[in-house]
Amino acid sequence: MMVFCLDFGNSQLKYAWVEADRIVDFGILNQVNFGSIIQICQNKHIDSIILSSVIDVPSELIFALKDLAPLHQLSSTSLTHVNYAQYDKLTLGVDRLAIAEGAQISYPTSNHLSICLGTCITYNWIEDGYFKGGAISPGLMMRTKSMHDYTAHLPLISPQMDFPLLGQSTTSNLLAGTMSGILLEVQGYIAELRKLDPHVVIILCGGDAPYFTSQLNGWDIQFDPDLIWKGLAGLARLN
């Protein structure tokens, strides 16, 4: 079964082709319109389409997608493998629904914490198949841009793979506060949750995750850049 997955986030419009839990192809769209989607669908067999979007999608695009193949638009009413009896599912964004689903499909017999480093940093904690809780904090670019935008003299810095714990200049101070701040936040959440459950599986995903994977070596963390695609494909089959 070939599933065409669309993930429209705050920063990027992404797509992937998933067949039998294997990512066949993926990419980024420049804009939300049917013409750009038609180009990447040429000569492709599609069994189903799933759309996860945190932005407004034109109704004409929805109708056009339905003409291509059966479409499921992910929402709080979608059927899920994760049990939300202990959490208000209506308040959870569709991006987090997909990530939680991908984690549950990947580790169905384990308790797990999925950490997505994207526009925002999100934490999803699932225990015995139940969504127990989570957290949201500003993401990497949101932190760097806000310090620049809301001050008169602080520069806009670019993320770097190598960053200090503490800096010796304004730029390195910003880099330390942003990069090391995120790293310490992530490590803190992991450490605290492992006090509650020493065997919890930690999964890291999201576009900014590669900045921190080397610093998290030795923390027994599973890095899975395809977690959201696994979740979306699973949700498409379930719905």
Residue 202: count of CB within 10 angstroms of its CB:
19
Of 47, 56, 95, 224, the catalytic one is 95
| Local structure of 88: helix, strand or coil | coil
Four-point Cα dihedral 216, 218, 219, 224, nearest 10 = 60
Angle between helix 94-106 and 227-238 (nearest 10):
90
Q: Is 173 annotated as a binding residue?
A: no
Task: Say how far apart CA 236 and CA 239 lie, in whole Å.
Answer: 5
Q: Is 11 annotated as a binding residue?
A: yes
Q: Is 80 annotated as a binding residue?
A: no
Q: Is 7 annotated as a binding residue?
A: yes
Q: Is 95 annotated as a binding residue?
A: yes
Q: Is 57 annotated as a binding residue?
A: no
Task: Say how far apart CA 12 and CA 141 lie, in whole Å.
Answer: 13
Q: Is 9 annotated as a binding residue?
A: yes
Question: DSSP string covering 130-170, please?
Answer: EEEEEEEEE-HHHHHHHHHHTSSSPPPP---SS--SS-SSH
Sheet with 112-117: list strands edge to edge.
130-138, 120-127, 112-117, 201-205, 221-223
Q: Is 42 annotated as a binding residue?
A: no
Task: Give catalytic status of residue 95 as yes or no.
Answer: yes
Q: Is 84 annotated as a binding residue?
A: yes
Q: Is 143 annotated as a binding residue?
A: no
147-154 long-range Cβ contacts below 8 angstroms, 24+ apart: 147/174, 147/177, 147/178
Residue type, 110: S
Q: Is 24 annotated as a binding residue?
A: no
Q: Is 118 annotated as a binding residue?
A: no
Q: Is 94 annotated as a binding residue?
A: yes
Q: What is the CA radius of gyration of the chain?
A: 19
Active site residues: 95
Going by the annotation, the residues of the binding site are: 7-14, 84, 93-96, 119, 170
Going by the annotation, the residues of the binding site for substrate are: 84, 93-96, 170
